[in-house]
Amino acid sequence: MRTLTELAPEASQQAPSPRAETGSGAAGQSRIHESAVKHVTGRAAYIDDIPCPADTLHVALGLSPVAHGRLTRLDLEQVKAAPGVVDVITIVDVPGHTDIGPVFPGDPLFVDDEISYVGQVIFAVAAESYQAARKAVRLAEVEIDEQPASLDPVAAAERGEFVRPTHHHQSGDWEQALRDATYVLEGEQFVGGQEHFYLEGQACLVTPSEDEGVVIHTSNQHPSETQKLVAEVLDIPFHAVTAEMRRMGGGFGGKETQASPWACIAALIARRTHRAAKLRLPRAEDMRATGKRHPFHNRYRLGIDDQGVLVGGEITVIGDCGYSPDLSDAVVDRAMFHSDNAYSLGQARVTGHRAKTHTASNTAFRGFGGPQGVMIIEQVMDDIARHIGEDPLTVRKRNLYRPGRDVTHYGQRVEQLQLLHDLIGELEQSSDYWARRQAISDFNRESPIIKKGLALTPVKFGISFTVQHLNQAGALLHVYTDGSVQINHGGTEMGQGLHTKVCQVVARELGLDIERVRITATRTDKVPNTSPTAASSGADLNGQAAKDAASKLRERLFDFAAEHYRLDRDGMRLEGGALVAGQGEAERRLPWAELVQAAYLGRVSLSEKGFYATPLIHYDRNTGKGRPFYYYAHGAAVSEVEVDTLSGEYQVTRVDILHDVGDSLNPAIDIGQVEGAFIQGMGWMTSEELKWNDAGRLVSDGPATYKIPAFGDLPPVMNVKLLEGHPNSQASIYRSKAVGEPPFMLGISVWSALRDALASLADYRVAPQLDTPATPERVLMVAQALRDAQGAA
Amino acid sequence: MTQTLTLTVNRQAHELAVAPDTPLLNVLRNDLALNGPKYGCGLGECGACSVLVDGMMARACVLPVSAVVGHEILTLEGLVIEGRLDPVQRAFIEAQAAQCGYCLNGMIISIRALLNHTPRPSMAQLRAALEYNLCRCGTHMEILEAAELAVTINAGESLEAPHE
């Protein structure tokens, strides 16, 4: 068996260009979403749309009202006696594992004794109707010995309260670098968290199956993990559990580990009652019970030379992990890996703490800690610029990785060194950066209240799961005797267009029109032991696995055709819906359906599985060194803002983006991903503010109090382009690059532009401290402080 | 208390035994198996549940079913007439406006409602019509493109056969 990992890079480089000689809609083209018609007619089924069996039970949850304490009494007699109630369960009703921590232990399915956050599940009620279940929950008598809640991650870190051990990266003698530096800059920042606000909330429907098993329909980025956890909770073998997932109404990381608890609870009910069980969280409960993007507190002490180039120093990040490890080890690692963003830190030590607090367990969210890491060094770039009196863009360009400064603080060499220089140069031109800079300076001199700001920030984002074993994928390809093709793979569709891209890969490999290729729901009984659809890796991994399956099947059909039709095996190809053999006069074409039919009669298998494992990557946790990433994806954005410094209100007036996706698998999908990620990143930086009260209760628990970007927040001018002429230097699927997460960090340009506008209040000599989200309130306070300081001076 | 109510949904009368304060969304989804309108926030704030009531946009998750007796309710499914998609639906396919697709019901209904009384809206009017519909994937630019395209397609068809 041949896997793609064995392909030499040279061999892949000679592959035809993605747009060449394939059926319509094949890879490289802007093919419409495979669900487009279903989406606009209401026929695209999400979990809540699946018809339920007539006897389905509806589940509601009893959640903790306090952040920290001990459960001293739980009386559920009235709940059990309530009309319509069929089953009520707590921790004692779990036959198998009671801890469903995905990587490390620490996530009890139900409260046992200790309560760790507001929204933690204490019990579950199953009733004949959803309303009956909800009403019954309120009849519980719960007594809790409440204790003070720890809600400040910095204080927690000082007390050594961590969910996982502290980790370091170190390159060279950072202390000497600080001593040798011309200037030393120090600073800190608070970076806010973010609610996923997937429009389709957490939901699942579980039906009992034959023997002791269950079938789980779940809105979920990681069906295999849910299968495992449900099996362990029920104490049954994995093969008795099937998880199925067709599409999500948004995931963004929030359904990677945090879709499983609901499936486990519904599965328990289904097994106990022998009836289907449906669990769909109401929005406010969803927001309270599930973790978010980690808030971070970052500090730095970095030395620069007289040109403003980093020579080294130290960076410390503290991730607010909430009450349990969940994925926080890898999230804080990724913040550390990205604390350099696109710039060489010189001789540096980076330290990452995983603080424990009494909130829901913070989790994956698009960028996975990377954005919080990038924030540090982007603040530093602006700070350097103010310190040495040069434009921030000049400072950024001067600090980019370059020959001689091309190894990261964790030991990975940056391969496409010139790419970001070229990309920034092109964007500088197309966005007319310098002319606008001049115009803005002129405007600000004349305008005392309204101030404009401009910033270009880049991103360099490492692609691969930093947990090495997750970098694998499988696919299952069936060709039926009418020539129609069905492809299944381990990735899940959450709106990112993964299924469309994988269909395009198969269409290209088999030379077919994409109409012939259909994708089916992700199921653990079709492709087993899959990785989460996360880390931007969906198309990279599953596209390669699908390609592996399709190319193996193609070779088998060539062997058959060569023998059966006595055709020349050399130069045989599949294109335009036919097998083509020979050249010129001797060329023969055989329609695909005919070939398939003949192969079937010739007893040739028309089914194939594919597999892929990412090559080259490794990382040694003991030394903090390695090559954790297969490659880097890049981009840059220029944002312009206009701030009313008397109210703090502002508008993003123009955005220009140039982004690197290698050779795009589907330019329309990729542009959509870049825009969407930017808008989500802009929301994280500006309006999306999570608020907990002093008792640790999330008070921003709905769209009225938690503001995601809406149409009115869109920049009136938004120019988005994909970088051309830079195929991936690694042999990724058709030399494309991952696109899900990297452009999220382009939203940071809005924050940097706001700082730029504010700095104008102090004639650009001060780098104002602006924590995030940079709400109008925060912007106003900074403006006020700058004015006061100017007045005092 | 359950009552027997008659609802006109997608040009058909339905007799239903429901509590009068039941949200219209629940009745549409649970009793009539119309899954176009979605549950998003349950507070009338995200727009995923939108339907047309007498041609105007309404939030089905906060609208008691008793309030729409005697009115014409149209859901996403009802925009398809004899297998032919509404111009707005066709525009959303053409402009590749979907990422996860969950918000699209509300976006399409809102644009349909706008076009029902303002057949030639400006870009500002299109933006205003969508202002209270949330999309988390950030596919706003494509949705706006779809909305503009919908205006063109709709105007073209109105010349042939005026809408409603």
Q: Rounded mean pLDDT of chain A? A: 95
pLDDT of A145: 98
CA separation for the pair A506, A514 (Å, rounded): 8
Confidence band of A150 (pLDDT split at 50, 70, 90): very high
pLDDT of residue A211: 86
Task: Report the greatest alpha carbon distance in chain A.
Answer: 92
What pLDDT score was predicted for residue A34?
75
Over residues B140-155, mean pLDDT:
96
Which of A60, A211, A47 is CA-nearest to residue A121?
A60
- Which residues of chain A lie closer than 8 angstroms to B108, CB-CB? 40
Q: Would residue A370 be called left, alpha or beta, if left means φ above 0 and alpha means ψ between -120 and 50 degrees? A: alpha
> Would you say the C-alpha torsion A540, A542, A545, A551 has a positive or negative sign?
negative
pLDDT, tens digit, 9 for 90 and up, residues B35-88 = 999 999 999 999 999 999 999 999 999 999 999 999 999 999 999 999 999 999
Q: Is residue A441 predicted with pLDDT exceeding 90?
A: yes
Taking a C-beta distance cutoff of 8 angstroms, is the pair A64, A115 a contact? yes
- pLDDT of residue A19 exceeding 60: no
Contact status, residue A78 vs residue A141, Cβ threshold 8 Å: yes
What is the C-alpha to C-alpha distance for residues A607 and B46, in angstroms, rounded to an integer? 44
Q: Write down the number of H helices and E strands in chain B.
A: 5, 5
Q: With CB atoms and an 8 Å threshold, state whether A282 touches B42.
A: yes
Residues whose CB is less than 8 angstroms from the CB of residue A429 and which lie 6 or more positions away in sequence, other chains included: none
Q: Residue B86: what pLDDT?
A: 97
Nearest alpha carbon to residue A696 among A69, A60, A62: A69
Please tell me which residue of chain A has the smallest CA distance to B80.
A41
Q: Is A184 on the interface with B (CB under 8 A)?
A: no
Pairwise CB contact (< 8 Å): A672 & B133: no
What does A542-564 look like in DSSP terms, one character per residue? HHHHHHHHHHHHHHHHHHHHHHH
Inter-chain residue contact B138 with A680, CB threshold 8 Å: yes
**Is the predicted pLDDT of residue A135 greater than 90, yes or no?**
yes
Q: Is the pLDDT of residue A689 over 70?
A: yes
Say if residue B163's pLDDT is above 90: no
Nearest to A597 by CA among A588, A606, A608: A606
Q: Are A465 and A334 in contact (CB under 8 A)?
A: no
Give the pLDDT confidence of A750-783 residue by residue, as tens digits: 999 999 999 999 999 999 999 999 999 999 999 9
Q: What's the pLDDT at A8? A: 33
Q: Which residues contact A444 (CB under 8 A, 6 or more apart)?
A: A451, A452, A757, A760
CA-CA-CA-CA torsion sign (B27, B31, B37, B40): positive
- The DSSP line for A79-90 is HHHSTTEEEEE-
**pLDDT at residue A12 greater than cutoff 70:** no
Nearest Cα of chain A lies from the Cα of B69 at a distance, in angstroms, of 23
Q: Do B137 and A676 touch (CB under 8 A)?
A: yes
- A192 and A365 in contact (C-beta within 8 Å)? no
In this predicted structure, the answer to whether residue A560 has a pLDDT above a threshold of 70 is yes
Token pair belonging to B88: 């707005």
Q: What structural domains does chain A harbor?
A: 4-30+472-613 (3.30.365.10), 47-148+202-280 (3.90.1170.50), 296-466+621-792 (3.30.365.10)
**Which residues, listed in sequence order, are joined to residue B9 by a DSSP beta bridge?**
B12, B73
Confidence of residue A23 (pLDDT cuts 50, 70, 90): low
Phi then psi for residue A476, to 5 deg, are: -135, 120
Asked if the C-beta of A768 comes within 8 angstroms of chain B's C-beta atoms, the answer is no
A741 is catalytic: yes
A residues 419..478 contacting B (CB < 8 A): none
Q: For position A157, what pLDDT does the model report?
A: 98
Q: Do B101 and A495 count as a contact with CB atoms less than 8 A apart?
A: yes
| CA A576 to chain CA mean position, Å | 36
Q: Is the pLDDT of residue B151 over 80?
A: yes
| Chain B CB contacts of A36 below 8 Å | 92-93, 96, 98
Q: Sort out which chain B residues have CB atoms less than 8 A from A714's CB and list them.
A: 127, 140-141, 144
Q: Which of A33, A196, A703 sits opposite B41 (nearest CB)?
A: A703
Chain mean position to CA A411: 24
Q: How would you class A404 by CB atoms within 10 Å of its CB: exposed for 0-12, middle for 13-18, buried for 19 or more?
A: exposed
Grade residue A787 by pLDDT with cuts at 50, 70 and 90: very high
Non-local (6+) Cβ contacts of A563 within 8 A are: none
Residue B162 has pLDDT above 80, yes or no: no
- If you write DSSP's letter for every residue of B52-109 in order, what string do you get? EETTEEEETTSSBGGGGTTSEEE-GGGG-BTTBPPHHHHHHHHTT--SS-TTHHHHHH
Min CA distance, B144 vs chain A (Å)? 9
Query: Which has more confidence, A18 or A674?
Result: A674
With pLDDT > 90 as the criterion, what percentage of chain A qualifies?
94
Question: Which among B37, B42, B104 is the nearest to A283, CB-wise?
Answer: B42
CA–CA gap between residue B156 and residue B89 (Å, rounded): 15
Distance of CA A733 to the CA centre of its chain: 19
Of B79, B67, B70, which is closest to residue B7 (Cα–Cα)?
B70
Name all domains of chain B by residue range, CATH numbers in brackets: 3-76 (3.10.20.30), 87-160 (1.10.150.120)
What length is written for chain B?
Answer: 164
pLDDT one-digit tens code per residue, A307-338? 999 999 999 999 999 999 999 999 999 999 99
pLDDT for A772 equals: 98
Instruction: Count the Cβ atoms, other than its own, within 10 Å of residue A718.
Output: 18
The verdict on pTM exceeding 0.90 is yes
pLDDT tens digits for A53-77?
999 999 999 999 999 999 999 999 9
Q: In sequence order, which residues have a C-beta less than 8 Å from that of residue A598 and are 6 or more positions away?
A: A560, A564
Closest C-alpha among A212, A664, A187, A122 to residue A386:
A187
Nearest chain A residue to B133 by CA distance is: A710
pLDDT classification of B96: cutoffs 50, 70, 90: confident
pLDDT at A189: 98
Contacts with B85 from chain A: Cβ below 8 Å: 37, 40-41
Cα–Cα distance for residue pair A733/A549, rounded to 1 Å: 13
The 3-state secondary structure of A153-203 reads: HHHHHHCCCEEEEEEEEEECCHHHHHHHCCEEEEEEEEECCECCCCCCCCE
Confidence of residue B159 (pLDDT cuts 50, 70, 90): low
The whole-angstrom distance between A605's CA and the closest CA on chain B is: 35
Question: Which two tokens mark A599?
Answer: 């192969």
Best CA proximity match to B118, nearest among B97, B138, B147: B147
Alpha-carbon distance B119 to nearest alpha carbon in chain A (angstroms):
21
Structural tokens at position A95:
């036959």
Closest CB to B104: pick one of A30, A40, A250.
Answer: A40
For A483-528, write each residue's pLDDT tens digit.
999 999 999 999 999 999 999 999 999 999 999 999 999 999 999 9
Q: Return d(Cα A7, Cα A783) in angstroms, integer.
A: 57
Arithmetic mean of pLDDT, A630-649: 98
Compute the distance between CA of residue A294 and CA of residue A313 in angstroms, rounded to an integer.
Answer: 25
DSSP A17: P
CA-nearest residue to B31 within chain A is A51
pLDDT, tens digit (0-9, with 9 covering 90-100), for A166-224: 999 999 999 999 999 999 999 999 999 999 999 999 999 999 998 899 999 999 999 99
pLDDT at A328: 98
Confidence band (pLDDT; 50, 70, 90) for B164? very low
Cα separation, A280 vs A297, whole angstroms: 34
Its ipTM equals: 0.95
Q: Which residues in chain A are contacts of B29 at CB distance < 8 A?
A: 48-49
Predicted confidence (pLDDT) per residue in A706-746, tens digit:
999 999 999 999 999 999 999 999 999 999 999 999 999 99
pLDDT at position A241 is 98
Question: Helix, strand, or coil here: A105?
Answer: coil
Preceding amide of A223 cis, omega within 30: no
Judge contact between B31 and B19, C-beta under 8 A.
no
Partner B, chain A 202-221, Cβ-Cβ below 8 Å: none
